[in-house]
Structure 1
């Protein structure tokens, strides 16, 4: 009886497993096509503030251009390494010294995207900002939006993707390094998306577990 039950259940488990793998791979293709074809939004109206999530100087340079163009009152750079001096950051990004001094705030607390979201919301709330432009790489936009959406339901976030490599022709699939970067980010995005549906206590438990594993 037990062996018969095993034989009847095994095909079902196999089908479910194959289906889950298919959905995962299909989701990865959709995700990759989406992030590699993201467009820069038309900023008809200025936002209250601009937030850039660190991970490359090109992100900061893009955010500084937005600030200089008057698309936000202030710029918040989240996740700057503790050893990076303000003057050094201004120099390597080519930021205007006066603009950098008057209108740029730096966060050194955030260690990951979750921290970026938390610190950005603290900054925006302290200044009464309700509309933020979020600057980060195109492949990082979906996960950043999930984490920011979890951190606050009262603030409008406008994604502003930075594109370092033009992959609009769909040739990302033939570039091994690009596929690796996209796949790793996709896995992180799926994790963030899954965690966003968990109750708060379970979500915090999952986050603590991830931090322990990273250590």
Structure 2
């Protein structure tokens, strides 16, 4: 009996990992939202969020998880952002250091600005955990998931899958 339960658990874990690795979230289309939020950390994330802003798919942008040493002028230069866009439309968030605090910072910004729809931008392999954390912190807000395609290694997928599992399990005890 114990062997069957263990075998079933291993099979469930394996099938879950295969689904996680094969069915990565995809980029979103031109759907318009009130704002776009990007969690820093992976290549192409900020570029995608700025593209969304420039194309008019959102009016405001929060870059969550910016290093405290980065100044708006440096950010503008690095990403080719105009002074006008920087002043009117982009907020640099310096409060977060990980995915969980990204979500907390984003939720506060959403509430402060009374947004009803947002586009979440992060890397494809990171989207499920980022979305999980954000949904735990906001309610009544439509979230559009806009994944930045990547070529994750098996190691990254393995680690991220286990972070997601661990976070989901730990959230059960937080309630």
> What is the distance in 2 between the residues matched to 1:148 and 1:159?
11
2:11 paired residue among 22, 30, 50 = 22
Q: What is the RMSD computed on CA atoms of the aligned residues?
A: 1.6
The 3 A distance-change label for structure 1 pair 87 and 56 is farther
Contact 1:62 1:162 in 2 (8 A): yes
Which residue of 2 is the match for residue 117 of structure 1?
103
The aligned runs of 1:50-69 (5 Å cut-off) are 50-69=36-55
SS in 1 for 2:47: helix
Which residue of 2 is the match for residue 48 of structure 1?
34
> What is the distance in 1 between the residues matched to 2:42 and 2:76?
14
Contact 2:65 2:97 in 1 (8 A): yes
Which residue of 2 is the match for residue 193 of structure 1?
168
TM-score of the two chains, using structure 2 as the length reference: 0.92
TM-score of the two chains, using structure 1 as the length reference: 0.76
SS in 2 for 1:139: coil
Contact 1:61 1:94 in 2 (8 A): no
Off by >6 Å, runs of 4+ in structure 1: none
The 3 A distance-change label for structure 1 pair 132 and 64 is same
Q: Which has the higher helix share?
A: 1
Unpaired runs of 5+ residues, structure 2, are none
Higher relative contact order (CA 8 A, sep 6+): 2
Contact 2:26 2:148 in 1 (8 A): no
Once the two structures are TM-superposed, the CA of residue 152 in structure 1 deviates from its matched residue by: 1.5
Unpaired runs of 5+ residues, structure 1, are 1-11, 166-176, 205-215
The 3 A distance-change label for structure 1 pair 93 and 57 is farther
Once the two structures are TM-superposed, the CA of residue 73 in structure 1 deviates from its matched residue by: 1.4
Aligned length: 175
> What is the distance in 1 between the residues matched to 2:97 and 2:116?
24
Q: Deviations over 1:46-77 (max 9, x none)?
A: 21111000003511111001001111111000
1:138 paired residue among 111, 124, 139 = 124
Once the two structures are TM-superposed, the CA of residue 126 in structure 1 deviates from its matched residue by: 0.6
Once the two structures are TM-superposed, the CA of residue 41 in structure 1 deviates from its matched residue by: 2.0
